[in-house]
Chain A
Amino acid sequence: MRHLIDPLDFSEAEIEKLLDVAEDIAQNLKAYSHVCDGKKLATLFYEPSTRTRLSFESAMLSLGGSVLGFATADSSSAAKGESVADTIRTVSCYADICAMRHPKEGAPLRASRYSRIPVINAGDGGHQHPTQTLADLMTIRSKKKRLGNLTIGLCGDLKFGRTVHSLIKSLARYEGIQFVLISPEELQVPDYIIKEVIKGNDIPYEEVGSLEEVISSLDILYMTRVQKERFFNEEDYIRLKDSYILTANKMRRAKPDMAVLHPLPRVNEISIEVDEDPRAAYFEQVQNGVYVRMALIMMLLEVTPC
């Protein structure tokens, strides 16, 4: 039995295969509409989420399966003090696979050690978000036709942005990657990712404070939101929330084939005017998220189209 807890749980070859299946799903959705008939997905969301939970539910329903679960910790036994270990042992009796979102880092790993069904990490605190990474990789591959030889700019909250951590870890495995890390000093990429992932793999990188100065060099610009829920102190959040805003004016400096990605939701870090720019890929990314989650559920349940 396999789980997806960390973005590196799958090899590059497995990711390639998964993205191939996801692309085939995008082209032939109907062929997959009954592959999970009779199967159940449990969505265990201890933290509010709109798109990730709906994306998982949409994915399972599109495969012919059904869904059950909870959308906040208040509506689960966690409110009564139940441990993650006990919750997953119980849910293993009700469902065939589960997706877990939890504010505490490492909760899905803890769950996977007690589970009798595959566990998917749907985001754990400020740590990892591997299924968003699959959607990111699918979008990058679709836009650039490759996952290597790219200059990737990551902008905004790089400290608490779990999608950023997962994406860096995943892309670090490909040849010819360069990272440009654009953030205020307080929200820089955690030290362990710089030391062990970026420097550890001899990947060229720079940490800068200005988006304007570097935007022209980027193949991919990955924007992120400064997340209010990750701050213990509201004053810090208010001070940093408007650090970077991507506007049509800034986009004029970018390459004509640069792609703008964002894990969404956005607040104001991408001006609405940018939505009309053909380089804006974030809504395609949302659609890809459903296809890759379908491919992932199939892979973990070991089912194939008839």
Chain B
Amino acid sequence: MLNIDSLERGIVIDHIKAGYAMKIYYLLKLDQLDCCVAVIKNARSSKYGKKDIIKIEDMVDLDLEVLGFIDPNITIDIIDNGKIVEKKQLVLPQKLTNVIKCKNPRCITSIEEEIDHVFKLSDQNDHRYRCVYCEQEYQG
């Protein structure tokens, strides 16, 4: 297995569904960080068969809302002195602001300048989100 150095201090985003690491990389704007960031794709996972992992060699503020929306099963480990000092649990966010965009051409978001694209969770079981303006369901 490919060996990536373990972190002394930083964040590990683990149990990412295989193939989603780069999406998360850009959504979390990790490309804008100056620190070392490792993206591991298709790592072996006893739970999922394959998974992606992202390791960030610094303590940065992560948008947990975005991660929870993509997959609430993702785990986040905070590492200090080479040890896990905190595990963050993700939940499906009740509200998403400027994470996804409304595609309804009849929605005010299609013409209004500088309007936030806001979605509310409408169905916890089916992970359905609706635009707060037009109520159209988000179709990924």
Contacts and interface: CB of A to CB of B under 8 A. Distances in A.
Contacts of A104: 106-108, 110-112
Contacts of A124: 108
B135 A192 contact: yes
A105 B102 CA distance: 11
B9 to A, nearest CB: 42
A110 B3 CA distance: 51
A83 interface: yes
Given A106-B107, A107-B108, A196-B122, A127 B135 contact: yes
B112 A126 contact: no
A71 interface: no
Contact of B108 (A106, A126, A191, A195): A106
Interface size class of B (residues with CB under 8 A): 20 to 34
B106 to A, nearest CB: 5
Nearest to B107: A105
Interface string A117-152: 000000011110000000000000000000000000
Interface string A27-39: 0000000000000
Contacts of B48: none
Contacts of A103: 106
B137 A191 contact: yes
Interface class of chain B by DSSP: loop
A96 to B, nearest CB: 24
B112 A84 contact: yes
A102 B109 CA distance: 13
A83 B130 contact: no
A106 B117 CA distance: 11
B113 interface: yes
Nearest to A82: B113
A163 to B, nearest CB: 16
A194 to B, nearest CB: 12
A255 B122 CA distance: 38
Interface in A168-217: 191-192, 195-196
A196 B135 CA distance: 11
A85 interface: yes
Given A110-B112, A110-B115, A127-B135, A192 B130 contact: yes
A105 B133 contact: yes
A60 interface: no
Nearest to A103: B106
A109 interface: yes
B131 interface: yes
26 contacts: A83-B113, A83-B114, A85-B112, A85-B114, A85-B115, A104-B106, A104-B108, A104-B112, A105-B104, A105-B134, A105-B136, A106-B107, A106-B108, A106-B109, A106-B131, A106-B132, A106-B133, A107-B108, A107-B112, A107-B133, A110-B108, A110-B112, A124-B108, A125-B107, A195-B123, A196-B123
